[in-house]
Structure 1
């Protein structure tokens, strides 16, 4: 199975390059659109008994 993937990748370099570029673009898009809460909650912990 891995041998076939390597063989396909070696024969079709441009297709592999397109898939890698698409993965990079998708990753950049995802990182830019993920909401980030960078401020930690420093308040005291309260336990109601």
Structure 2
């Protein structure tokens, strides 16, 4: 079984709390903890 990366887990934890959200919404919430580029968030969500 594959494990989530820390970045994937951060995104999933946001989605588990509040879903559905746009990539922008998720990126804004991620940026509250650490700086994350929009395209980085988008790419992780596409994987």
TM-score (normalised: structure 2): 0.27
Higher alpha-carbon Rg:
1
